[in-house]
Amino acid sequence: MDVKNKGDLLNLESLKKKIIHSPSSQRFIEIDMLRGLAIILMIFGHFLWDLDYFGLVPMNSGIYSFLQITVQPMFFLLVGISLVVGKKKIESMTIKDEKKYYERLIFRGLKILGLGMIFTILTLFFIPEKPIFFGVLHCIGLSVILSAPFLKYRKYNLLFVVIILFASLVVAGYNIENPTIFHLVLGLHPTNVGSYTIDYFPLLPWFGICLLGIIVGDCLYSGNKRKFRMPDLSRYRPIKIFQWCGQHSLIIYLIHQPIIAGALTVFIIF
């Protein structure tokens, strides 16, 4: 093998390592933008909820319901899309590198799940009448972990989506008065579960929405490229704001509620 070929191989290996170890490698602005839009709409919804909780402004049920049926599916779809986009970036990697990718993926899911458990502990202390047992962070974290073996099925995940959504309709008909955490994770709960917890996202149907995101991501992206054309959005300042929020969505989610609740508490006191 001549020097030139050796150099090419070294450059290729260097590129592979960058893709594997760099989380910001070839980010798609539209995914960050949509995630940023979702997090901003979610903050607005939580602000409305807090205003009602502190007795300042009655809840506008119409607006809040609209946010629930739009923002929540958007988050889980984007989880699935992001997972399959990340997987496509390492399709040409070695088995060893692919193993590292899945290890990082599972660790990421465990981290998000762990953050959800911290929220469980905090709400048991501060909102004991409605603590979070299995909320959005728990569900996203577990969905990320469970998605690992499904990434290779891509479009064929439609079968699993149909099964999960059908199963969610079936379990919705059951009323479990004293559910265990296992029941709650699956989606078996009392009919008035909202009276017992402020945040509840069972695997049925939300893991199915995550798998649907994998299908959408597989249709729209291939490796580090889009399968569709779109204009350059990076030059628009409002888009950059949404993009920044999307890139920092987890930390924004973690801090927004204490900030809102703290500000409203100060407003009430003074």
pLDDT digits (tens, 9 = 90+) for 127-150: 999 999 999 999 999 999 999 999
The answer to whether residue 123 sits within a structural domain is yes
Task: Please report, as a single letter, which amino acid is at residue 4.
Answer: K
> Which are the contacts of 101, defined by CB distance < 8 A and separation ≥ 6?
20, 86, 87, 90, 93
| pLDDT tens per residue, range 34-82 | 999 999 999 999 999 999 989 999 988 899 899 999 999 999 999 999 9
CA count, 13 A, side-chain hemisphere, 159:
4
- Say how far apart CA 201 and CA 72 lie, in whole Å: 9
**Helix (H/G/I), strand (E/B), else coil: 226:** strand
24 pLDDT above the threshold of 60: no
Give φ, ψ of 222 to 5 degrees.
-140, 110
Phi/psi region, residue 202 (left: phi>0; alpha: psi -120 to 50; beta: rest), is beta
153 pLDDT above the threshold of 50: yes
The answer to whether residue 169 sits within a structural domain is yes
| pLDDT tens per residue, range 237-257 | 889 999 999 999 999 999 999
Chain CA centroid to CA 215, Å = 15
| pLDDT tens per residue, range 105-114 | 999 999 999 9
- Say how far apart CA 73 and CA 175 lie, in whole Å: 24
The answer to whether residue 122 sits within a structural domain is yes
Percent of the chain with pLDDT over 90: 67
Domain count, the chain: 1
> Which are the contacts of 94, defined by CB distance < 8 A and separation ≥ 6?
16
The answer to whether residue 96 sits within a structural domain is yes
The answer to whether residue 110 sits within a structural domain is yes
The answer to whether residue 46 sits within a structural domain is no
Confidence (pLDDT) at 224:
78
Pick the residue with more confidence: 209 or 96?
Answer: 209
- Say how far apart CA 11 and CA 150 lie, in whole Å: 31
Q: What beta strand segments (E) does the chain contain? A: 221-222, 225-226
pLDDT band at 92, cuts 50/70/90? low
Range of the domain at 218: 92-230
Confidence (pLDDT) at 119:
95
Pick the residue with more confidence: 2 or 263?
Answer: 263
Whole-model pTM above 0.95? no
Question: What is the arithmetic mean of pLDDT over 178-183?
Answer: 93
The answer to whether residue 61 sits within a structural domain is no
Q: State the DSSP H helix or E strand holding residue 240, giving kind and residue range, or none if neither.
A: helix 237-247
Confidence (pLDDT) at 114:
97
- Say how far apart CA 67 and CA 38 lie, in whole Å: 9
8 pLDDT above the threshold of 70: no
- Say how far apart CA 60 and CA 196 lie, in whole Å: 21
pLDDT band at 234, cuts 50/70/90? confident
170 pLDDT above the threshold of 60: yes
